[in-house]
């Protein structure tokens, strides 16, 4: 039975009055991740928007422990925490490495690959807001084609984003999943499932960012939904190598059709001057991925 | 084959004395200290330290998590995580490995984690060179770690045991430095203490940074320059206050290093001089100063100088950070000249030990001249006779000149 | 003379803020509501709930709760009807968009200046009284 608004636990582990931007997609995600973990977790966080959300010394806006770590080190630092807990007999605490897409796809990928290859006992969650939003919206390896950033200011990014979940899948880890704060029940259920597994579990979250993507803060959830409904972001999980679409993506695969990507892109200022050719390229990229996903999907 | 080990026992029937390399001595020390998490990445000439530890863990001799990481940066990251939850941790590295983990070297110190690491001193690239000098650890001088240099394999083993005690007392990381190949790969007789003796000397680590959902602390968040109040209205440190406390802890560690060495001496019958050691210093007019195995070599040079009628002695620097300025300045006060041999270089200035000694002596009513020499870079051999020649050059220079002598280079063939 | 100087020094020390009561040697934070201050100050618009449309309020039991679930700041209560903590609500307007009944509207903050810091129910009454709560 999928979790809904009425069955999500009430307890909060993120406090009001934090430093995150209004309408931050990460805020929604963080609430439901911590609910799924029942607060029995240690977060390992590199420089990122979550650092900002977590607050400045000597006060914290979350009621779970956080170990801040160096930007490239998230997965390694987390695997150290896991090793420390193991030798101290405290393995009932879930170690969650949580980083942005820059900290995951770019500077943190070596440590992440190493930890995944060792099957370190960590849950790694990448919240992908598709750029270095905390430092002022620079391009990352996860920024989509056509998106303007402060380091791809005129033409928009000219390359497709890295498929990080696919990279992690190639490490043969027990669990790979994607999720979105716009589908909190699906996110919650996946974190709960991941929590009970051992070894490296990887989750990739789509995290709409009002300031970086340039849309109104009220539209965060709508943008997350459109990302899924246009197929730009697919909700799926890969458990022991078996690929399944989940939640809204699964429903769309069963019946109905994806919306044109244009409907998702045109709500965002970062695509405002994207050429038709770029939008067509994104549409083709989506079509190919969707085709492969449907082929792979196991009921 | 025994070299550079003045005074060591060469014949023994004591079953606890093993003929081992410096790297083996380091691994034995880590085992005896019951390290709980080891992170390992290979680099010459350190590799056999962690290879030995891997054997101990695989064979069940040591109950620890052995994590073979994909880089030195991750090695130190693993240790940070494990130490932060309260485990006793260990790794070793050299040269470019140390440089690669540089960011984390600073992170460890700022986190006040009692991590102990071996730095098997090796020359930094470019160009590639796997042999010994001390540029690697010297380049981490200002990261906020305690740095202790060893002169032989027994001192390596003993210093690692001391290092955990110093680190866990001061909440400061300790880098135990010893010369690549000259010590790391040279066998010497080393007395390996019993587990019981080490357990009695080094109690289990009581962490000060426990990460626990029951006490949800957020460790090392963004910290502003100015103090800010906490939820109870208590004004908490700004970044600068934390830095001051860190620095003060390092200065206080000067006493801790001496105290722990004395305590070790009482427990094991061996101590290593604390901050520095000396040889024929009492009446010396000329003091040769260096860190690590080169200081041992200097004792042979001093013997030769004494035979030639020069009242020479040796100061072997053990603690480089914190720099034992007062202790060393007092120790050299009666000499006419201190000839400092650095196996590293602060490019554009002079040898770092030489520069620090000069600063320590500045402003004293009477102080010896300080002459600096650079030598042994990239594994260039330094023989006792070359130390003698450099010392004689300094003495001759003093006869003809006053003021400050420029940096000399030992056996430079340019 | 010396005693006076000491007294002056002590008085000066008392005036100068210091962190000597802080026992930490590394940066370790503890949780605090309002870590970033009263973030309600960030708002330019505020959510106003029309209980006559709210599904939970209508049914008189826990229902829907989309506004609670999607709030990125955890300032909406899981109650009947849901309440908004106006001290910390940043006014993003997500609750307005996710409400399936169109029961929440955004109103300019300056129309509610006198209520700043008061909680949702007060705001909601104000909204109803103004008759300006149609979606």
Per-residue pLDDT tens digits for B328-382 = 999 999 999 999 999 999 999 999 999 999 999 999 998 999 999 999 999 999 9
A17–C35 CB contact, under 8 Å: yes
Round to whole Å and give the CA distance between B138 and B354. Answer: 12
Helices (H), B135-180: 135-138, 153-170
Report the CATH number that the domain containing residue A45 is assigned in CATH: 3.40.50.970
Distance from CA of B305 to the nearest CA of C (A): 49
What pLDDT shows up at residue C5?
74
Distance from CA of C21 to the nearest CA of A (A): 13
Round to whole Å and give the CA distance between A204 and A167. Answer: 11
Q: Is residue A2 part of a domain?
A: no
Number of independent structural domains in chain C: 1
B235–C26 CB contact, under 8 Å: no
**Number of Cβ atoms within 10 Å of the Cβ of A130:** 29
Chains that touch B (3 or more CB pairs under 8 A): A, C
Distance from CA of C4 to the nearest CA of A (A): 37
Which of B39, B74, B213 faces A65 most closely, judged by CB atoms? B213
Q: Is C128 on the interface with A (CB under 8 A)?
A: no
What pLDDT shows up at residue B12?
37
Q: Is residue C26 part of a domain?
A: no
**Number of Cβ atoms within 10 Å of the Cβ of C38:** 14
**How many Cα atoms are found within 13 Å in the side-chain-facing hemisphere of C71?**
27
Beta bridge partners of C84: C76
Distance from CA of A62 to the nearest CA of C (A): 6
Judge whether residue C135 has pLDDT over 50.
no
Q: Is B169 on the interface with C (CB under 8 A)?
A: no
Please, are residues B107 and B80 in contact by the beta-carbon 8 Å criterion? yes
Which of B85, B217, B237 faces A85 most closely, judged by CB atoms? B85
Judge whether residue B9 has pLDDT over 80.
no
Judge whether residue C74 has pLDDT over 80.
yes
What pLDDT shows up at residue C1?
65
Helices (H), chain C: 2-15, 55-59, 66-70, 94-98, 120-130
What pLDDT shows up at residue C112?
85
Give the chain A residue nearest B101 (alpha carbons).
A73
Q: Is B207 on the interface with C (CB under 8 A)?
A: no
Q: Is A299 on the interface with C (CB under 8 A)?
A: no
Q: How confident is the model at residue B15 (pLDDT cuts 50, 70, 90)?
A: very low
What pLDDT shows up at residue C13?
67
The structure tokens listed for B5 are 């080990």
Distance from CA of A20 to the nearest CA of B (A): 14
Per-residue buried b or exposed e for A208-227, using 16+ beta carbons within 10 Å of the residue's own CB: bbbbbbbbbbbbbbbbbbbb
C-alpha pair distances (Å), B161 with each of A84, B116, B231 = 21, 10, 40
Round to whole Å and give the CA distance between B101 and B139. Answer: 12
What pLDDT shows up at residue A135?
95
C36–A19 CB contact, under 8 Å: yes
What pLDDT shows up at residue B8?
43
C72–A216 CB contact, under 8 Å: no
Distance from CA of B245 to the nearest CA of C (A): 7
What is the percent of chain B where pLDDT is above 90?
A: 94
Which of A54, A84, A114 faces B221 most closely, judged by CB atoms? A54
Q: Could you name the CATH architecture of B276-409? A: 3-Layer(aba) Sandwich (3.40)
Phi, psi for A48 (deg, rounded to 5) = -175, 180
C62–A6 CB contact, under 8 Å: yes
C-alpha pair distances (Å), A139 with each of A178, A231, A275, B179, B258 = 21, 22, 18, 44, 52
Q: Which residues of C touch A33 (CB under 8 A)?
A: none
Q: How confident is the model at residue B3 (pLDDT cuts 50, 70, 90)?
A: very low
Chains that touch C (3 or more CB pairs under 8 A): A, B
- Three-state DSSP class for A115? helix
Q: Is residue C108 part of a domain?
A: yes
Same topology, domains B1-274 and B276-409? Answer is yes
What pLDDT shows up at residue B44?
97
Q: Is B87 on the interface with C (CB under 8 A)?
A: no
Report the CATH number that the domain containing residue C89 is assigned in CATH: 3.30.70.20
Q: How confident is the model at residue C121 (pLDDT cuts 50, 70, 90)?
A: very low
Mean pLDDT across chain B: 95
B81–A81 CB contact, under 8 Å: yes
Residue-range domain boundaries for chain B: 1-274, 276-409
Which of B223, B231, B234 faces C27 most closely, judged by CB atoms? B223
Element (H, E) at B22: helix B22-32
Q: Is C24 on the interface with B (CB under 8 A)?
A: yes
Cα angle A264, A206, A24 (rounded to 5 degrees) comes to 90
Q: Is A222 on the interface with C (CB under 8 A)?
A: yes
Q: Which residues of B touch A92 (CB under 8 A)?
A: none
What pLDDT shows up at residue B208?
86
Distance from CA of A229 to the nearest CA of B (A): 37
B213–A42 CB contact, under 8 Å: yes
A54–B228 CB contact, under 8 Å: no
Q: Which residues of A touch C63 (CB under 8 A)?
A: 6
Please, are residues B245 and B254 in contact by the beta-carbon 8 Å criterion? no
For B1-274, CATH gives 3.40.50.970
What pTM value is reported for the model? 0.94
Q: Which residues of A touch C69 (CB under 8 A)?
A: 5, 8, 184
Number of independent structural domains in chain A: 1
Please, are residues B320 and B148 in contact by the beta-carbon 8 Å criterion? yes
Interface test with C, best of A10, A16, A23, A54 (most C CBs within 10 A): A16
Round to whole Å and give the CA distance between A167 and A164. Answer: 5
Please, are residues B332 and B289 in contact by the beta-carbon 8 Å criterion? yes
Interface test with A, best of C32, C35, C106, C117 (most A CBs within 10 A): C35
Per-residue pLDDT tens digits for C15-66 = 789 999 999 999 999 999 999 999 999 999 999 999 999 999 999 999 999 9
What pLDDT shows up at residue C6?
74
Chains that touch A (3 or more CB pairs under 8 A): B, C
Please, are residues A186 and A235 in contact by the beta-carbon 8 Å criterion? yes
Please, are residues B291 and B118 in contact by the beta-carbon 8 Å criterion? no
Q: Is A56 on the interface with C (CB under 8 A)?
A: yes
Q: Which residues of A touch C59 (CB under 8 A)?
A: none
Q: How confident is the model at residue C115 (pLDDT cuts 50, 70, 90)?
A: low
What pLDDT shows up at residue A183?
98
What pLDDT shows up at residue A1?
80
B230–C30 CB contact, under 8 Å: yes
Q: Is A63 on the interface with C (CB under 8 A)?
A: yes
**Number of Cβ atoms within 10 Å of the Cβ of B200:** 11
Per-residue pLDDT tens digits for B288-315 = 999 999 999 999 999 999 999 999 999 9
Beta strand pairing call for B235-236 and B319-321: unpaired
Distance from CA of B161 to the nearest CA of C (A): 24
Q: Which residue segment(s) compose the domain that A202 sits in?
A: 25-296
Phi-psi region of C61 (alpha: psi -120 to 50; beta: other; left: phi over 0): beta
Interface test with C, best of A4, A5, A54 (most C CBs within 10 A): A5
Interface test with A, best of B57, B66, B81, B232 (most A CBs within 10 A): B81
Q: Which residues of A touch B221 (CB under 8 A)?
A: 51, 54-57, 60, 66, 68
Q: Which residues of B touch C17 (CB under 8 A)?
A: 227, 235
Q: Is A211 on the interface with C (CB under 8 A)?
A: no
Q: Which residue segment(s) compose the domain that C111 sits in?
A: 39-130
Q: How confident is the model at residue C8 (pLDDT cuts 50, 70, 90)?
A: confident
What pLDDT shows up at residue C132?
33
What pLDDT shows up at residue B209?
80
Q: Which residues of A touch C46 (CB under 8 A)?
A: none
Q: Is B210 on the interface with C (CB under 8 A)?
A: no
- Three-state DSSP class for B102? helix
Distance from CA of C4 to the nearest CA of B (A): 28
Q: Which residues of chain A have pLDDT under 50?
A: none
Q: Is residue A12 part of a domain?
A: no
């Amino acid at each position: 039975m999928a979790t809904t608004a009425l069955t999500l636990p009430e307890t909060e582990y993120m406090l009001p009055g934090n430093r995150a931007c209004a309408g931050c997609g990460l805020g929604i995600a963080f609430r439901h991740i911590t609910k799924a973990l029942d607060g029995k977790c240690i977060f390992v966080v590199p420089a990122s928007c979550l650092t900002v959300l977590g607050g400045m010394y000597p006060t914290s806006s979350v009621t779970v422990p956080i170990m801040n770590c160096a930007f490239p080190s998230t997965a390694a630092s987390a695997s150290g925490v896991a090793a420390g807990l193991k030798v101290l007999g405290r393995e009932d605490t879930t170690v969650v490495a949580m980083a942005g897409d820059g900290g995951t796809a770019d500077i943190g990928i070596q440590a992440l690959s190493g930890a995944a290859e060792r099957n370190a006992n960590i849950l790694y969650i990448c919240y992908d807001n598709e750029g270095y939003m905390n430092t002022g919206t620079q391009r990352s390896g996860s920024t989509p084609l056509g998106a303007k950033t402060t380091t791809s200011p005129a033409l928009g990014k000219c390359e497709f984003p890295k498929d990080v979940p696919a990279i992690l899948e190639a490490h043969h880890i027990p669990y790979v999943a994607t999720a979105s704060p716009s589908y909190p029940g699906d996110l919650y259920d996946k974190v709960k499932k991941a929590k009970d597994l051992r070894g490296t579990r990887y989750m990739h979250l789509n995290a709409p960012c009002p300031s970086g993507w340039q849309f109104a803060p009220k539209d965060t959830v709508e943008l997350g939904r459109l990302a899924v409904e246009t197929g730009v972001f697919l909700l799926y999980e890969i458990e022991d190598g078996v690929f399944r679409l989940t939640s809204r993506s699964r429903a769309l695969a069963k019946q109905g059709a994806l919306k044109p990507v244009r409907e998702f892109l045109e709500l965002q200022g970062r695509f405002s001057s994207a050429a038709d050719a770029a939008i067509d390229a994104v549409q083709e990229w989506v079509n190919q991925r969707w085709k492969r996903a449907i082929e792979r999907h196991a009921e | 084959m025994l070299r550079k080990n003045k005074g060591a026992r060469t014949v023994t029937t004591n079953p606890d004395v093993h003929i081992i390399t410096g790297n083996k001595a380091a691994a034995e020390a880590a085992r005896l200290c019951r390290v709980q998490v080891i992170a390992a990445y290979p680099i010459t000439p350190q590799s056999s330290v962690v290879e030995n530890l891997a054997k101990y863990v695989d064979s069940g001799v040591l109950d620890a998590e052995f994590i073979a990481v994909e880089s030195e940066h991750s090695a130190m990251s693993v240790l940070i995580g494990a130490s932060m939850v309260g485990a006793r941790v260990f790794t070793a590295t050299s040269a470019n490995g140390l440089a690669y983990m540089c960011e984390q070297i600073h992170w460890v110190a700022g986190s006040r984690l009692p991590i102990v690491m071996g730095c098997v001193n090796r020359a930094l690239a470019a160009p590639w060179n796997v042999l010994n000098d001390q540029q690697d650890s010297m380049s981490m001088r200002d990261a906020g770690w305690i740095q202790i240099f060893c002169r032989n394999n027994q001192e390596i083993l003993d210093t690692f045991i001391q290092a955990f005690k110093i680190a866990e007392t001061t909440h400061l990381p300790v880098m135990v430095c010893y010369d690549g190949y000259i010590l790391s790969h040279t066998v010497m007789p080393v007395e390996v203490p019993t587990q019981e003796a080490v357990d009695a000397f080094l109690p289990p680590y009581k962490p000060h940074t426990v990460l626990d959902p029951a006490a949800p602390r957020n460790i090392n968040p963004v910290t502003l320059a100015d103090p800010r109040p906490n939820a109870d209205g208590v004004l908490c440190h700004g970044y600068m206050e934390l830095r001051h406390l860190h620095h003060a802890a390092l200065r206080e560690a000067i006493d801790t290093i001496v105290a722990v060495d004395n305590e070790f001496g009482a427990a094991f019958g061996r101590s290593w001089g604390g901050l520095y050691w000396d040889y024929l210093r009492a009446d010396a007019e000329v003091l040769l100063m260096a860190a690590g195995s080169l200081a041992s070599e200097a004792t042979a040079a001093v013997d030769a100088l004494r035979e030639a009628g020069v009242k020479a002695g040796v100061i072997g620097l053990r603690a480089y950070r914190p720099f034992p300025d007062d202790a060393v300045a007092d120790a050299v006060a009666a000499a006419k000249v201190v000839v400092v041999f650095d196996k590293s270089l602060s490019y554009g200035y002079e040898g770092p030990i030489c520069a620090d000694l000069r600063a320590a002596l500045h402003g004293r009513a009477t102080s010896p001249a300080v002459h600096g020499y650079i030598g042994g870079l990239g594994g260039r051999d330094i023989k006792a006779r070359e130390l003698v020649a450099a010392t004689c050059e300094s003495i001759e220079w003093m006869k003809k000149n006053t003021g400050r002598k420029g940096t000399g280079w030992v056996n430079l063939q340019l | 003379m010396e005693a006076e100087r000491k007294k002056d020094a002590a008085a000066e020390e008392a005036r100068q803020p210091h962190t000597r009561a802080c026992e930490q040697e590394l940066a370790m934070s503890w949780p605090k509501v309002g870590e970033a201050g009263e973030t309600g100050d960030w708002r330019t618009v505020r959510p106003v709930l029309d209980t006559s449309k709210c599904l939970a309020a209508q049914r008189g039991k826990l229902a829907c709760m989309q506004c609670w679930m999607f709030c990125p700041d955890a300032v909406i209560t899981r109650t009947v009807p849901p309440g908004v903590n106006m001290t910390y609500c940043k006014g993003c307007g997500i609750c307005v968009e996710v409400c399936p009944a169109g029961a929440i509207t955004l109103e300019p903050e300056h129309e509610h200046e006198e209520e700043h810091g008061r909680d949702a129910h007060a705001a909601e009454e104000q909204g109803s009284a103004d008759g300006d709560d149609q979606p």
